[in-house]
């Protein structure tokens, strides 16, 4: 049984569009139309489902995909599931009822995944805005840092999962400022050495907030039936892992003179190097109670002097190639366009 056989089984249940499984057809079909689900029929000249599944999920990250294969090709179907398909069936077991049930279940699973992802994204943005309420009048700073980081990651050729993750986690870079005393965070004059040391703790505070392994969380996870692996609780959330790294490393410097760990060069995770550039670039272009906004040319001159000292040369090169996209982000999320309910209510300046 081939794709046309599946179409016959589904007659009167779903409207089907039948096409050979190829990347070209995916590009042609997925752009103008919206699909409830995708049936990926393997074994008909499809020897490598990996590229097809990857391309489908790139076009539609939550697409419900059901793979169908013969017994001889069941390893291809299993491979497709491992890569992101929701389910698979064998041709000799396929009936109209089983195929309908598999499609319906896949759609429900995909919808649930999308709802969870959107909820997590909403929580992340609220956490980021909560941190800004203790900072200076930063308007849409965290939004722009997330967008800039996404653009830089794309320009540097990172995969979709990395790009999406850094877009979500970059806004949490200063979450640790929640734990810095107001007397230091909002001191109008220069900080003493002791105060500066406390201020620099915001990186590690943020990492601890996001990585929380407290006894209370341990008890909750145990109650929920989650397993414990060593002193860590599974499953590990890759977004929270990246958020921890962003918080901990965004003040490291390429020359090793940053904080808190004094990492140098490629010892600094790429997410930290990208967010460091995005954060400083936006800060230079933004007006603050204690400084004027620099022009783009002035900002680039300052950044260029710090290439190889503060910043990764490759990340700076990516920024230069992305300036048009950066300008578009700045225009769309200009501080003057910030919703009045989103503007932090504390107006005193804070520290980096």
Are β-strands 65-69 and 87-90 bridged in parallel, bridged antiparallel, or unpaired? parallel
Q: Which residue is associated with the tokens 């900080």?
A: 191
**341 CB contacts (<8 Å, ≥6 apart)?**
none
CA distances from 191 to 136, 173, 288 (A): 16, 22, 18
Backbone angles phi, psi at 89, to 5 degrees: -130, 155
Q: Distance of alpha carbon 65 from its chain centroid, rounded?
A: 23
Q: Say how many C-beta atoms besides its own lie within 10 A of residue 115's C-beta.
A: 11
3 state SS of 268: coil
The counts of H helices and E strands in the chain are 16, 5
Helix (H, G, I), strand (E, B) or coil at 323: helix
Could you tell me the two tokens for 108?
A: 């429900």
Nearest to 206, CA basis, from 175, 250, 231, 234: 175
Q: How many CB atoms lie within 10 A of CB 280?
A: 20
Tell me how crowded residue 116 is: count the other CB atoms within 10 A of its CB: 10
Give yes or no for a contact between 203 and 259, defined as CB atoms under 8 angstroms apart: yes
Q: Among residues 177, 187, 215, 305, which one is catalytic?
A: 177
Distances from the Cα of 119 to the Cα of 59, 149, 163, angstroms: 21, 21, 19
Sign of the Cα pseudo-torsion (133, 135, 139, 144, in order): negative
Alpha-carbon radius of gyration of the chain? 24
Give the distance between the most distant pair of CA atoms in the chain. 77
Respond yes or no: is residue 177 known to be catalytic: yes
CA distance 185 to 196: 10
d(CA 160, CA 156): 12
Catalytic annotation, residues: 177
């Amino acid at each position: 049984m081939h794709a046309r056989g599946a179409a016959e089984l589904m007659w009167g249940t779903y409207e089907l569009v039948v096409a050979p499984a190829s990347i070209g057809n995916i590009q042609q079909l997925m752009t103008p139309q919206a699909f409830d689900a995708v049936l990926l029929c393997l074994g008909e000249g499809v020897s490598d489902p990996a590229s097809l599944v990857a391309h489908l999920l790139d076009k539609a990250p939550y697409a419900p995909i059901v793979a169908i294969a013969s017994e001889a090709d069941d390893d291809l179907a299993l491979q497709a599931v491992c890569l992101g398909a929701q389910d698979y069936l064998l041709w000799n077991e396929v009936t109209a009822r089983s195929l309908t049930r598999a499609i319906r279940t896949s759609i429900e699973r995909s919808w649930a995944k999308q709802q969870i992802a959107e909820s997590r994204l909403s929580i992340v943005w609220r956490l980021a805005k909560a941190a800004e309420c203790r900072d200076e009048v930063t308007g849409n700073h965290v939004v722009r840092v997330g967008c800039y980081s996404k653009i830089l990651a794309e320009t540097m050729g990172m995969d979709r999962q990395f790009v999406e993750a850094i877009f979500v986690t970059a806004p949490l870079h200063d979450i640790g400022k929640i734990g810095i005393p107001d007397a230091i965070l909002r001191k109008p004059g220069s900080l003493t050495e002791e105060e500066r040391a406390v201020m620099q703790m915001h990186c590690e505070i943020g990492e601890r907030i996001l990585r929380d392994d407290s006894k209370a969380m341990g008890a909750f996870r145990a109650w929920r039936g989650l397993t414990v692996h060593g002193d860590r609780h599974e499953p590990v959330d890759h977004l929270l892992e990246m958020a921890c790294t962003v918080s901990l490393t965004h003040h490291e410097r390429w020359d090793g003179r940053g904080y808190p760990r004094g990492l140098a060069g490629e010892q600094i995770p790429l997410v930290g190097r990208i967010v460091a550039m995005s954060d400083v670039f936006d800060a230079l272009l933004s007006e603050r109670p204690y400084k004027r906004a620099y022009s783009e040319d002035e900002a680039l001159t300052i950044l260029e002097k710090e290439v190889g000292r503060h910043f990764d040369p490759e990340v700076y090169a990516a920024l230069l190639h992305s300036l048009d996209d950066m300008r578009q982000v700045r225009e769309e999320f200009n501080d003057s366009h910030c919703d009045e309910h989103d503007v932090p209510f504390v107006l005193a300046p804070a520290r980096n």
